[in-house]
A and B are shown apart, each in its own frame.
Chain A
Amino acid sequence: MSNQTQNAPRRSAPGDWPQVRTVGVDGLLVSFGNSLSEPANRAALAFRAALDTSTPDGIEETSTSLVSTYLRFDPLHTDHKELRGKVQAMLDRQDWYKASLPSGRRAWRIPTVFGTDLAPQLDEAAAAAGLTRDEAITSISESRVRVQTIGFAAGQPYLGELDPAWDIPRQKALTDRVPEGALTVAIRQLVLFSVSTPTGWRHIGQTAFRLFRPESDTPFVLRPGDEVRFDPVSRERLAAMQDDPDGGATSKVLT
């Protein structure tokens, strides 16, 4: 096991961020923290935007996760040391934690059925958070959460941050399948599923919102930085919105 030290960020003291680590053979990850925070999330988004603008030679693709910026490059063309040096120089250029959010953000309202047989884990999730079912619905639906990253599946948002009560772990065993449009919760975050898939997150709400529309000019609907509220509706109202790709959702540009 060589390279262990180079890849060992976890036991570092706070204040050692941002950190640059390798991802596989051909990737670098610039992390702005080891837990989710609003400044770290903004830093990751801003750093990716800067990479995409100045594109150091050899970079093939970039993305962000919650508090990190990822870049893939061709290690046969640009060596790790050289690229790390360029990335570090960019990091040193400014205080990325003070970067502003991306422009053109929107505020969405997405009709959601909480609980019922459509979203069978509401009670279980509420109990894990120490809330009654009604308190849970109020807490989630009154939170204005932000798209912190798009990931896991096409167009799929991680949203946060919820009240500390929602710092509940993922399930140990996977749920076999949640449907497209499922609203799920864990670790103070919501994930709205863009595909039907197995997951360890608890299924607490159901929407009719299509997040990935490959046939459309804008195949990926939500963007990092967008704000979302999940408005409680009845099963009947949701059923009436099934044919609308937006599932009754509305949006306006944030200024």
Chain B
Amino acid sequence: MSGGLIVHRAGPSLTLQDLGRPGYLGFGLSRGGAADRLALAEGAALLGQGDDLAALEMAGMGGDFEAAQDLRIALTGAPMRAAIDGTRIAWNASHALPQGAKLTIGGAETGSYGYLHVGGGFTAPQQLGSCSAHLASGLGTLVQAGTQLDIAQDHAPGMVNRLLPVNSRFEGGEVRVVPSLQTDFFPESEVARFEETDFKRDAKGSRMGVRLTSDDIGFHSDAGLSVLSEVVVPGDIQITGDGTPFVLLSECQTTGGYPRIASVLPCDLPKVVQASPGASLRFRFISLDEAITAERHATAHRKALRGMLAPLVRSPHDIRDLLAYQLISGVTAGDEL
């Protein structure tokens, strides 16, 4: 095979992720897909392509890569230290990665999941309509050193050096929740205490869910350990037998027996997903109507991303091989508007 992106060194948890596999909930398979869906939309905006294309999701740590063909890349999600041939490059930006160029991506400086997108998107054999790895179900695999990732045809090859201003979502903060089907299993005093508690995102976390810790005692429900298993959706905050809350994420189970005290708004879920280990999180209940309004704003924001792109201005000092650059032609392909 020629072309694509060669993986020379891989962080411990690299997987290809797209929007996942909706439609299999009734068969026990959760949708999965990118842990931070907003990052997929941001990468799509930066590269001028659809947000349904697969990107490389990097949990905590990136890797060393080499372009086996001329490529465009974009970097989104948790900012990681990245360089092309030793020159530091900007995060939340798109860059050219010419054939033979080496891309190095280090550990997350803040946040949890970084994303590497390529023009055209990565391709891999589809299983049940998606190439997302869903490791909990045995679908797909970790991307490991020595892999050469296939890339589909790039339809906007000229569009690079764009920057997307992104509000930080990596330091925790306030997360909006709605009451859900089992909120009422908890005494009102426990629900109120939940809302008042300062939580920290535990270092333990996966694509299935993140654990929340606090100095307070665990949360008690009246439901006990014999409640019927009921449908689970991403964003649900499950309270396990010892009173510990877990926020369930895209690769969560489809049903579960532990009662759920609340459900995080889909548009606020990236904040939980991306909170750095140890970051503070607080939860605030809002009404369903307020939640719908918030989702409407978030959808409008995702649609507006393309209009927010700015040219990526690089200081000539950062450009080691300035004279090697074609400074006149190729600034724009002319087909990107």
Contact = CB atoms under 8 A, between A and B. Distances in A.
Contacts of A76: 292, 295-296, 299
A65 B136 contact: no
Contacts of A80: 288, 292
Contact of A152 (B183, B229, B285): B229
A212 B334 CA distance: 49
A173 B242 contact: yes
A65 B230 contact: yes
Interface in B21-74: 22-29
B179 A7 contact: yes
Contacts of A79: 292
Given A23-B181, A25-B263, A67-B228, A151 B255 contact: yes
Interface of A: 1-4, 7-11, 21-27, 29, 34-36, 48, 60-68, 70, 72, 75-76, 79-80, 149-156, 158, 167, 169-174, 186-187, 194-195, 197, 200, 212, 214-215, 219-220
A187 B228 CA distance: 8
Contact of B242 (A62, A70, A172, A187): A172
Interface of B: 22-29, 127-128, 136-139, 178-181, 183-185, 188, 191-192, 195, 224-226, 228-231, 233, 235-236, 240-242, 253-257, 263, 265-266, 285-288, 291-292, 295-296, 299
B27 A150 contact: yes
Contacts of A34: 228
B285 A68 contact: no
A153 B195 CA distance: 30
Contact of A7 (B25, B181, B242): B181
A174 B241 CA distance: 9
Given A7-B180, A152-B255, A27 B233 contact: yes
B268 to A, nearest CB: 10
A67 B253 CA distance: 18
Given A22-B179, A66-B228, 20 more contacts: A1-B192, A2-B287, A9-B181, A22-B288, A23-B233, A24-B263, A25-B266, A27-B231, A27-B233, A34-B228, A61-B26, A65-B230, A65-B255, A152-B256, A154-B24, A158-B229, A169-B224, A194-B28, A195-B138, A220-B29
Contacts of B25: 61-63, 70, 72
In the A-B complex, the 3 residue pairs with the smallest Cβ-Cβ separation, listed nearest first, are A151-B255, A63-B26, A24-B263
Contacts of B137: 153-154, 195, 212, 214
